[in-house]
């Protein structure tokens, strides 16, 4: 079979390993002309790598998740690592999507299942590439799959347990419009059958609406009056108190909802309250997800580099009551910052530093909302940008790096951005 791997990032490399077998003729297509390829690999690299793909005579195109391909204009069959994995996976899959909280919720699910004695596999952006893990999965195992809109965009099957968290706008630089973004998220439910399970957030209209696409006979909701909810300082699941909120390891109200979603997702497999409670108490969060870096001179420093959209920054800001020094900016995904700006008007703000491509736009919006303590710093000297904000911090303040934008341009990804922030803070 003559196969093209479209995009040679983490998922593309995994797809290459998967399809690299006798009888297959593989060519890699990538915009980056300097990528490192396995010896002897055929490649089409550079600006025209994805132009006129039908002209090469391929039998199959394998699209990496972050690459948008207009299927209507291409006759060659297209698949993705996600679609291939879901077709062949021998175990039941718990899929998790949403605009924010996917990684945290998927990790909570995986840990709750593991603590209750299940053999699990955590896949997606937060875990191993799915096709790499496929040979290790047994029918009796459980797969927890964090699923982005890029992965869901063109799938034609849905996981056994589909979880949709809070959904707001995101990735409008990639999707043609908000309706397409929502439709991609909805695919997590669209192909479910009556034997499947749908989990949704009943306080988010989009999550609630998308869940109606499911044909699952069993559905669980979390949030007020749902199957799992927070009331009177306790997390209540299916009629039983699980844990006092004060004992929860994760910071922020939004993470209480992520915990509720995780309990709904594991309920078909375990109702071991003690195992679930143990995970909730111990799990303190993922790196760069409102990560506590250090305390120094009465100031607490938090790294939320994973915040790549305004909704994530809103959740981060709402996690604190103290005065905040906040950093906002990055690659422009055409996001709307109005809701974030309205929130910041009502919070204790010591200083807001904006930077990079979106920095000027955010700066002007915040000023128009009457927020005076905001400064735009041009240029790409990240240490100087962070240092400028830190200089305003006073004892009792929170320094919060929650940029609300993607990292591309100045950084390769949110992890690189987060690590550099930590390095700067620890060196100051």
User: The domain that contains 44 carries what CATH number?
Assistant: 3.40.50.720
Percent of the chain at pLDDT above 90? 86
Residue 286 has pLDDT above 90, yes or no: no
Count, residues in the chain: 428
Residue 239 has pLDDT above 80, yes or no: yes
Residue 226: CATH number of its domain: 3.40.1190.10
Provide the 8-state DSSP code for 411. B
pLDDT for 358 equals: 95
User: Do 46 and 25 lie in a common domain?
Assistant: yes
pLDDT for 333 equals: 82
Question: Tens of pLDDT along 5-36?
Answer: 999 999 999 999 999 999 999 999 999 998 99
For residues 104 and 378, give the distance between their C-alpha atoms in angstroms, rounded to a whole number: 33
pLDDT for 135 equals: 96
pLDDT for 328 equals: 98
User: Do 67 and 114 lie in a common domain?
Assistant: no
pLDDT for 22 equals: 95
Question: Tens of pLDDT along 131-184?
Answer: 999 999 999 999 999 999 889 999 999 999 999 999 987 777 777 888 999 999
Q: How many CB atoms lie within 10 A of CB 66?
A: 15
User: Do 134 and 278 lie in a common domain?
Assistant: yes
Q: How many CB atoms lie within 10 A of CB 90?
A: 11
User: Do 180 and 112 lie in a common domain?
Assistant: yes
Asked if 397 and 322 touch (Cβ cutoff 8 Å), the reply is: yes
User: Do 144 and 180 lie in a common domain?
Assistant: yes
User: Do 248 and 105 lie in a common domain?
Assistant: yes
pLDDT for 157 equals: 97
Mean pLDDT (whole number) for 215-227: 97
Asked if 101 and 207 touch (Cβ cutoff 8 Å), the reply is: no
Asked if 288 and 314 touch (Cβ cutoff 8 Å), the reply is: no
**Tokens representing 356?**
């990079």
Mean pLDDT (whole number) for 222-247: 97
Beta strand 92-97 with 161-164 is parallel
For residues 171 and 24, give the distance between their C-alpha atoms in angstroms, rounded to a whole number: 34
Last residue of a domain, one of 78, 93, 110: 78
Question: Tens of pLDDT along 374-425?
Answer: 999 999 999 999 999 999 999 999 999 999 999 988 999 999 999 999 999 9
Indicate the pLDDT class of residue 100, thresholds 50, 70 and 90. confident
Last residue of a domain, one of 78, 113, 134: 78
Residue 384: CATH number of its domain: 3.90.190.20
User: Do 263 and 148 lie in a common domain?
Assistant: yes
pLDDT for 173 equals: 76
> Mean pLDDT across the chain, nearest whole number?
95
Asked if 359 and 376 touch (Cβ cutoff 8 Å), the reply is: yes
Residue 357 has pLDDT above 80, yes or no: yes
Which residues are registered as beta bridge partners of 300? 295, 398
Whole-angstrom CA distances from 415 to 332, 359, 420 are 18, 20, 9
Lowest mean pLDDT among 53-57, 127-131, 270-274, 358-362: 127-131
**Tokens representing 213?**
């696409």
pLDDT for 344 equals: 97
For 124-141, letters b (16+ CB in 10 Å) and e give bbbbebbbbbbeebeeeb
Question: Tens of pLDDT along 76-86?
Answer: 999 999 999 99
Last residue of a domain, one of 247, 282, 317: 282
| DSSP assignments along 5-36, one per residue | EE--SHHHHHHHHHH-STT-EEEEEES-TT--
HSE-up of residue 332 (Cα within 13 Å, Cβ side): 10
Asked if 197 and 162 touch (Cβ cutoff 8 Å), the reply is: yes
Enumerate the H helices of 283-413 as residue ranges: 310-317, 338-345, 356-368, 382-390
For residues 69 and 315, give the distance between their C-alpha atoms in angstroms, rounded to a whole number: 32
**How many domains would you assign to the chain?**
3
**Tokens representing 257?**
């909802």
User: Do 216 and 122 lie in a common domain?
Assistant: yes
**Strand extents, DSSP E, 223-290:** 228-231, 234-237, 240-244
User: Do 209 and 258 lie in a common domain?
Assistant: yes
User: Do 139 and 272 lie in a common domain?
Assistant: yes
Who contacts 77 (Cβ-Cβ below 8 Å, separation ≥6)? 59, 60, 61
User: Do 301 and 421 lie in a common domain?
Assistant: yes
Question: Tens of pLDDT along 30-65?
Answer: 999 989 999 999 999 999 999 999 999 999 999 998
Q: Which domain holds residue 261?
A: 83-282
Indicate the pLDDT class of residue 103, thresholds 50, 70 and 90. very high
User: Do 145 and 260 lie in a common domain?
Assistant: yes
Asked if 77 and 3 touch (Cβ cutoff 8 Å), the reply is: no
Higher pLDDT, residue 229 or 67: 229
Question: Tens of pLDDT along 185-212?
Answer: 999 999 999 999 999 999 999 999 999 9
């Amino acid at each position: 079979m003559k196969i093209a791997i479209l995009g040679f990032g983490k998922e593309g490399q995994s797809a290459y390993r998967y399809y690299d077998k006798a009888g297959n003729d593989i060519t890699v297509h990538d915009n980056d002309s300097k990528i490192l390829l396995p010896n002897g690999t055929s490649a089409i690299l550079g600006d025209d790598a994805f132009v006129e793909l039908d002209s090469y005579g391929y039998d199959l195109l394998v699209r990496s998740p972050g690459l948008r391909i207009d299927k209507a204009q291409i006759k060659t069959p297209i698949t993705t690592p996600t679609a291939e994995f879901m077709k062949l996976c021998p175990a039941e899959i718990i899929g998790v999507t949403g605009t924010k909280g996917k990684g945290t919720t998927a990790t909570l699910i995986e840990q709750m299942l593991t603590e209750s004695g299940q053999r699990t596999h955590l896949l997606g952006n937060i875990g191993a590439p799915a096709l790499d893990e496929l040979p290790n999965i047994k029918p009796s195992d459980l797969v927890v799959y964090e699923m982005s809109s890029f992965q869901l965009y063109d799938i034609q099957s849905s996981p056994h347990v589909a979880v949709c968290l809070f959904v707001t706008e995101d990735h409008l630089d990639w999707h043609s419009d908000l309706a397409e973004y929502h439709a991609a998220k909805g695919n997590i439910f669209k192909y479910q059958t009556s034997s499947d399970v749908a989990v949704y957030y009943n306080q988010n209209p989009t999550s609630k609406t998308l869940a109606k696409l499911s044909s699952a006979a069993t559905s669980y909701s979390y949030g007020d009056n749902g199957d799992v909810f927070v009331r009177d300082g306790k997390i209540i699941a299916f009629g039983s108190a699980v844990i006092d909120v004060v004992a929860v390891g994760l910071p922020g109200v939004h993470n209480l909802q992520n915990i509720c979603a995780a309990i709904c997702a594991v309920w078909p497999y375990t109702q071991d309250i003690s195992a679930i409670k143990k995970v909730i108490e111990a799990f303190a969060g993922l790196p760069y997800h409102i990560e506590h870096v250090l305390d120094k001179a009465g100031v607490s420093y938090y790294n939320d580099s994973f915040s790549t959209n305004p909704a994530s920054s809103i959740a981060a800001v709402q996690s604190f009551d103290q005065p905040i020094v906040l950093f906002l900016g990055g690659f422009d995904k055409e996001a709307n910052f109005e809701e974030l700006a309205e929130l910041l008007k009502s919070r204790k703000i010591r200083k807001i530093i904006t930077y990079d491509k979106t920095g000027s736009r955010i700066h002007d919006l915040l000023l128009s909302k009457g927020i005076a303590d905001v400064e735009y710093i041009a240029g790409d000297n990240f240490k100087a940008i962070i240092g400028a904000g830190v200089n305003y911090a006073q004892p009792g303040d929170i320094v919060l790096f929650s940029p609300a934008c993607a990292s591309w341009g100045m950084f390769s990804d949110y992890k690189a951005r987060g690590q550099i922030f930590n390095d700067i803070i620890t060196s100051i």
